[in-house]
Amino acid sequence: MPLFIGDGRRDEARTDLNFNIDKRDGLPKINIKNSFCNHFNSAATQCGEDASFKDIFGTMDTAIKDEWAEILGTAPSPDLSKSLQGALNRAHGAWYEYIISIESWNYSVANDSFLLVNLPNKNGFSVHQLYTREFSGKIDDFKEKLQSVGADLITSNPDFAIVANPETRFEDERCTIDTESVSPRDIEALEELYRTFTGSLHLNDLKGFVSAKTSFRADRLFQMPHEASTMKALYIHLQTRDWIIDAPGIKYYSMAMGYGRKDTENLKTVATHSITTVQHRPEPVVDRLFKVDSIRSLHESFEAIDSDIAGSV
């Protein structure tokens, strides 16, 4: 892929448009990428050093609501205000991932460290496609065998893959992203990074996965444990198929702006593969649960992951 991330080139796309007009009802709809690029840095500056993402997002929400009312030419009705807040709440999840992606990229460049690679949330891409054909082919074979007996391997993609030594996949030297001038094109490039690594990772190049959520929704209570357990089981399957002795294993982390006692208990659920034989030490599906509600706490989570990777080599 063309590596323009953070290279300072002018983004010729219209970034001043924080809203798109819906042709169906004529109402302005939030442009999630543009609104982030135009408001995040100023909101973070306004909130001050070590501000929480909750406060920053709240400041961004206020600015966007004022702009929305200005476009309408009148104060929105209660129903419209409720609809806008719902759209903003959904945007928070995307903004949260943008921040993690940008900071991970910059951390990786500054420290020659791992990189969190965004994974698409769509049916056309499965996380095992990141592996070389030697390994992804074994997963395809496994899925075919399951289907032959009326079963299937169905799971969602984690939000991020943790890739070791990412610099070896780029021909040019990587540049950091200036958060004061981040553009939608930078974000789109980060979202497409998985294509750079597709079909190129050895078993131990993929160190683990990260789930990133602004909060834990009740309707997704078991999605993360299922996802984590499946990722770890597939790793053990590949390790067994290739008879890789003393493989370092794979990690699954969770990042959230906040969580409660019930969330913590839920994520201690045992990984299914680790209780199928007494030779394996039982392990939780989620290795670490990070409260990531600021840039500082995000970098602390990166340092912890870095330490885990160094300790597993």
152 and 204 in a common domain: yes
Mapped to the 3 state alphabet, what secondary structure does 85-117 carry? HHHHHHHHHHHHHHHHHHHHHHHHHHHCCCEEE
Asked if the structure places residue 74 within a domain, the reply is: yes
Instruction: Answer yes or no: are the C-beta atoms of 241 and 138 closer than 8 Å.
Output: yes
CA distances from 237 to 78, 143, 160, 170, 242 (A): 54, 12, 21, 30, 9
Marked catalytic residue, from 61, 97, 186, 293: 97
* pTM score of the predicted model: 0.91
Cite the DSSP H helix spans in 73-204. Answer: 78-111, 133-148, 184-191, 194-197
Instruction: Quote the pLDDT of residue 49.
Output: 85
247 and 111 in a common domain: yes
Say which residues have a Cβ less than 8 Å from residue 125's Cβ, sequence separation at least 6: 119, 157, 194
Asked if the structure places residue 61 within a domain, the reply is: yes
140 and 227 in a common domain: yes
Final residue in a domain of this structure, among 71, 92, 113: 92
137 and 32 in a common domain: no
Asked if the structure places residue 130 within a domain, the reply is: yes
Asked if the structure places residue 8 within a domain, the reply is: no
Marked catalytic residue, from 227, 287, 293, 308: 227
pLDDT band at 25 (very low <50, low <70, confident <90, very high): low
Q: Strand 206-213 to strand 160-163: parallel, antiparallel, or no bridges (unpaired)?
A: antiparallel
Marked catalytic residue, from 33, 207, 213, 232: 213
pLDDT tens digits, 139-193? 999 999 999 999 988 888 999 999 999 988 888 888 999 888 899 999 999 999 9
More confident residue, 163 or 270: 163
142 and 209 in a common domain: yes
Distance CA 105, CA 115 (A): 6
With 0-12 / 13-18 / 19 or more C-beta atoms within 10 angstroms meaning exposed / middle / buried, residue 246 is exposed
Asked if the structure places residue 169 within a domain, the reply is: yes
Average pLDDT over residues 244-265: 88
With 0-12 / 13-18 / 19 or more C-beta atoms within 10 angstroms meaning exposed / middle / buried, residue 168 is exposed
Asked if the structure places residue 127 within a domain, the reply is: yes
Instruction: Quote the pLDDT of residue 133.
Output: 95
220 and 106 in a common domain: yes
212 and 82 in a common domain: no
pLDDT tens digits, 28-43? 788 999 999 999 999 9
Say which residues have a Cβ less than 8 Å from residue 140's Cβ, sequence separation at least 6: 128
More confident residue, 220 or 259: 259
112 and 47 in a common domain: no
Instruction: Answer yes or no: are the C-beta atoms of 209 and 134 closer than 8 Å.
Output: no
Asked if the structure places residue 10 within a domain, the reply is: no
CA atoms within 13 A on the CB side of 136: 16
Residue 3, pLDDT above cutoff 60 = no
122 and 81 in a common domain: no
Instruction: Answer yes or no: are the C-beta atoms of 56 and 102 closer than 8 Å.
Output: no
Instruction: Quote the pLDDT of residue 313.
Output: 61
Residue 12, pLDDT above cutoff 50 = no
Q: Strand 251-256 to strand 206-213: parallel, antiparallel, or no bridges (unpaired)?
A: parallel
Residue 51, pLDDT above cutoff 50 = yes
* Residue 159: active-site member: yes
Most confident range (mean pLDDT) of 98-107, 175-184, 278-287 is 98-107
Host domain of residue 46: 19-92
Q: Look up residue 59 and give its two tokens.
A: 């400041």
156 and 203 in a common domain: yes
* Residue 308: active-site member: no
Site of tokens 């909130």: 47
Task: Count CB-CB contacts under 10 A for residue 142.
Answer: 16
Kindly write down the DSSP assignment for every residue of 37-57, as one continuous string. HHHHHHHHHHH-TT--HHHHH
Q: What CATH number does residue 238 fall under?
A: 3.40.91.10
Marked catalytic residue, from 61, 159, 205, 287: 159
* Residue 97: active-site member: yes
* Residue 213: active-site member: yes
Instruction: Quote the pLDDT of residue 14.
Output: 46
Asked if the structure places residue 223 within a domain, the reply is: yes
Instruction: Quote the pLDDT of residue 250.
Output: 93
Final residue in a domain of this structure, among 57, 74, 92: 92
Final residue in a domain of this structure, among 55, 76, 92: 92
More confident residue, 292 or 122: 292
86 and 141 in a common domain: no
Tell me how many domains the chain contains.
2
pLDDT tens digits, 180-236? 889 999 999 999 999 999 999 999 999 999 999 998 877 677 788 889 999 999 999
142 and 56 in a common domain: no
Instruction: Quote the pLDDT of residue 5.
Output: 53
